[in-house]
Structure 1
Amino acid sequence: MDKQREGISARKRRNRLLYVAVSIVVVSGVTYAVSRLENAAPRVDLNTVWVDTVRRGPMVREVRGIGKLVPREVRWIPANTIGRVERIVVLPGSAVEPDDIIVEMSNSVLVQDAENAVWQLKGREADLINLKVQLEGNLLQLMSGLAQIEAAYKQAQLEAEINEELYADGLVADLTLKLSRVRAEELETRLDIERRRLSFQEGAMEPQIAAMEADVEQFRAQANLLKKQVASLHVRAGASGVLQRMSVEEGQQITLGESIFQVVDPSDLKAVIRVPETQARDVQIGQSATVDTRNGVVVGEVTRVDPNVENGTVAVDIHLDGELPRGSRPNLTVEGRIELENLADVLFVGRPAFGRESATVAVFRFEPGGDEAVRTSVLFGRMSVSEIEVVEGLQPGDRIILSDTSNWDDYERLVVN
């Protein structure tokens, strides 16, 4: 039987513990050393980045927006009556004059009502003529009766005067004198009554005729209204210009007041651009602007700033001065620039892709005379379309990278060659 050697197992355990301790120390040292090393600066091709130089001088602060040319006045032509579209005479894009018929409609009920109104008017006009004839006849009868009574009264008055003279000479009896006086007084009373009747008849004629004439005018107005509605079944342009849009189709039933088509003046246009709401707070009415139609640039002036925000933008109207470039038409896409202010002497640079107004941003600044760019914190101020004010962090002549450098956020330096 072999004899177990003493101490071998203990030595093996000590050696394993020693190896583990040494390994831990080595790994820790290596980890610490690696952590102390800086990341190697990546190399960037100069042709792939946008570089600009900081400079001092005047800077025009502008805002930019995309929009369209729109007519200054848009005329929607509505339907003045209900009807069915029978024919569209003129198509959008055509030049039109005020009396040009654009759409023809039909309404048989309206046409019949208009004819009935005309006949009712004629009947009322005949009634008016008949009333005037009747009143005039009644007046003549009264005048004739008045003349007869007046003649009889004068005759009775003359007889009474003669009888008085004869009675004084004793040639007629007292009864005869009294009867002649009574007859004269009776005829005088009848004469007064007839005069009053004649005066009353003359006064009553005017209101009767006026009432009938008002009735006739009411029927005439109704007939004229229906006549105009029948005429409006032929819908006319109503203004000179270009037929911009047609909102109906043949066979469609149209309601009263429904918009049928749109007429615009293509020579009288304005630009409506949309400006980011963050920049619109500085836009004011009266500021100078330029509008690029892609076929020329037109100078203009801000005339309206929409108080509402839509999809993060604000609509701004620009009145265009002078002649529009060739090819300008409604709904043409344009680019507008509005001059907010002219800064006389400021430090500025091209606007970085990630630059924000009144914010501190890290940019890569080139070392003087070298090809290395170092991350530098810069405080920017007021911003324009393509330039931004430098408040602190850069000096005139410094060159910085304006392109997006988010791929190198983990590096403090870049080698640009």
Structure 2
Amino acid sequence: MGVVRMQKDQGTGPVTGSGMDQQVAVRRLATGWKIAIGGALAVAAALAFWWFAPSGTSQTVTADHVTISTVARGTFDDFIPVRARVTPLLTVYIDAVEGGRVEKMLVEDGATVAAGQPIALLSNAELQLSTLARQTEVEQQINNMRSQELALAQTRLANERALLEAGLALQKARRQFEREKPLAGRGFVTAKQFSDTSDDYAYRQRNYEALKRSQATDARLQGSQLAQQQAAAQSMQSGLSIARANLDALQLRAPVAGQLSGFSVQVGQSLQRGERVGQIDSPGRNKLIAGVDEFYLGRVQLQQRAAIESGGRRYAARVTKIYPQVQNGQFQIDFQFIGAEPANIQRGQTLAARLTLGDPAPALLVPNGAFYNDTGGSWIFVVTPDGRSAVKRSVRMGRRNAEFVEVLEGLDIGEKVVTSPYTGFTDKTRLDLSK
């Protein structure tokens, strides 16, 4: 095998790759272009945020979380539902006219009593003794007045007797004078005798007239005195009757017929004068008391009709009294049944009632919802035709009941509106409805 020897080139150095490398110049963007591109990206981001983010006057809500109703035409029944409480039509309270100790209970609480029926017996020794003493005093005074009346009557009789005697004496004197007068003229009677007869006749006349005047004066004074005594006697009798009535009041009686309630006194209990011991409710006669929202104060009138629901039946009633004082946003009204009352209703029981405010009439209707409390019926969210959003719109609404609200202006038949609560939406003008 042959070996070829390569000779080293003496004129050249070692072989390297440096001769093959070539420097490439890097091309960079100018600073102005960088600023322009950055600004464009920022504007695009801002536009995207503005486009996709909700504005301050709109809010995105889930369509399942709101109630959407349709505006329709129908018949509006002008009524309001109320809860009425049963209470007796007539309640008479029983008070202890005189205080005393309870000796005996004659009836129990809840019993049905008749007018004047005794229900309890009290004792009051001090009252009994004072009544007996007053009765004795009054009887003595009455006896004294009777004695005075008798004396006056006797005096009147004596005066009448004296007047009769004076009249008789006057007649005798007149006859004597008439007989002697012609005889004295003829000389058959002496002048002295005729003068005595004339003087006696004149005296009898003056005496009779004086007795008549005296009797008239005495009769007038005696009549006035007798009238005063009779009035005083009648006053004493009235006072004695009152004292006896107070004594009789120790026996508590039912003032009217009805059902006794609140009667919780016990034997041995001491009652003060005027203390309330119970009450009597009218049997089978009840009224209803209901609270009505102050919004309807100007629309509720006396004699308006109402329908009362009880036991699956409907009973007619009417408004008999309106209490205009407003408390806690409500005023009170009284109902009375027209005709028969529901059987077995109890005091304090509540019944459903529909108070009619007006006649049924055709109207454009929106289902009543919580939105009305937030807007007052002045505006509502109306769903757009594509169903993707709801826009705030001013409307004018009229009457409302538990089911519907009457639309006067601002909505058309077939439009859809949001009737659920507007909590958190009252400052928005548009709701974006998402699926």
TM above 0.5, one fold? yes
Instruction: Pick closer, same or farther for the CA change 1:131–1:23 going to 2, 3 Å.
Output: same
Instruction: Pick closer, same or farther for the CA change 1:373–1:308 going to 2, 3 Å.
Output: farther
2:341 is equivalent to residue 324 of structure 1: yes
2:396 is equivalent to residue 377 of structure 1: no
Q: How far has the Cα of 1:155 moved from its partner?
A: 7.3
Give the corresponding residue for 2:434: 414
Unaligned runs of 5+ in 2: 1-28
Which segment drifts farther, 156-165 or 103-112? 156-165
State the alpha-carbon separation in 2 of the partners of residues 38 and 338 from structure 1. Answer: 49
Give the corresponding residue for 1:360: 379
Instruction: Pick closer, same or farther for the CA change 1:128–1:228 going to 2, 3 Å.
Output: same
SS in 1 for 2:131: helix
The letter of the residue matching 2:380 is V
The letter of the residue matching 1:112 is L
State the alpha-carbon separation in 2 of the partners of residues 111 and 187 from structure 1. Answer: 63
2:81 is equivalent to residue 83 of structure 1: no
**Aligned partner (choices 113, 137, 162) of residue 120 of structure 1:** 137
Deviations 1:18-73 (A, max 9, x none): 9999889867755653443257977665xx86554432122123223333123333
State the alpha-carbon separation in 2 of the partners of residues 231 and 158 from structure 1. Answer: 70
Give the corresponding residue for 1:392: 410
Which segment drifts farther, 160-169 or 222-231? 160-169
Give the corresponding residue for 1:33: 48
The letter of the residue matching 1:33 is A
Deviations 1:327-352 (A, max 9, x none): 32333223332233346332212112
Instruction: Pick closer, same or farther for the CA change 1:344–1:67 going to 2, 3 Å.
Output: closer
| Alignment RMSD (CA, Å) | 4.6
The letter of the residue matching 1:414 is S
Q: How far has the Cα of 1:266 moved from its partner?
A: 4.2
Does structure 1 conserve the Cα–Cα contact (< 8 Å) formed by 2:89 and 2:287?
Answer: yes
2:111 is equivalent to residue 111 of structure 1: no
State the alpha-carbon separation in 2 of the partners of residues 270 and 217 from structure 1. Answer: 45
Which segment drifts farther, 116-125 or 99-108? 99-108
Instruction: Pick closer, same or farther for the CA change 1:22–1:103 going to 2, 3 Å.
Output: farther
State the alpha-carbon separation in 1 of the partners of residues 304 and 194 from structure 2. Answer: 110
Instruction: Pick closer, same or farther for the CA change 1:196–1:29 going to 2, 3 Å.
Output: closer
**Aligned partner (choices 251, 255, 259) of residue 270 of structure 2:** 251
Does structure 2 conserve the Cα–Cα contact (< 8 Å) formed by 1:352 and 1:401?
Answer: no
State the alpha-carbon separation in 2 of the partners of residues 323 and 273 from structure 1. Answer: 20
Give the corresponding residue for 1:345: 362
State percent identity of aligned pairs.
18
With the length of structure 1 as denominator, give the TM-score of the two structures: 0.72
Does structure 2 conserve the Cα–Cα contact (< 8 Å) formed by 1:71 and 1:270?
Answer: yes
State the alpha-carbon separation in 2 of the partners of residues 144 and 407 from structure 1. Answer: 111
State the alpha-carbon separation in 1 of the partners of residues 261 and 385 from structure 2. Answer: 56
The letter of the residue matching 1:262 is Q
SS in 2 for 1:239: coil
2:256 is equivalent to residue 239 of structure 1: yes
Q: How far has the Cα of 1:199 moved from its partner?
A: 5.4
State the alpha-carbon separation in 1 of the partners of residues 81 and 167 from structure 2. Answer: 100
With the length of structure 2 as denominator, give the TM-score of the two structures: 0.70
**Aligned partner (choices 217, 236, 247) of residue 230 of structure 1:** 247
Does structure 2 conserve the Cα–Cα contact (< 8 Å) formed by 1:160 and 1:180?
Answer: yes
Instruction: Pick closer, same or farther for the CA change 1:24–1:238 going to 2, 3 Å.
Output: same
State the alpha-carbon separation in 1 of the partners of residues 62 and 138 from structure 2. Answer: 97
Unaligned runs of 5+ in 1: 1-13
State the alpha-carbon separation in 2 of the partners of residues 42 and 187 from structure 1. Answer: 129
State the alpha-carbon separation in 2 of the partners of residues 100 and 189 from structure 1. Answer: 70
2:282 is equivalent to residue 262 of structure 1: no
State the alpha-carbon separation in 1 of the partners of residues 178 and 326 from structure 2. Answer: 106
2:91 is equivalent to residue 71 of structure 1: no
Instruction: Pick closer, same or farther for the CA change 1:61–1:139 going to 2, 3 Å.
Output: closer
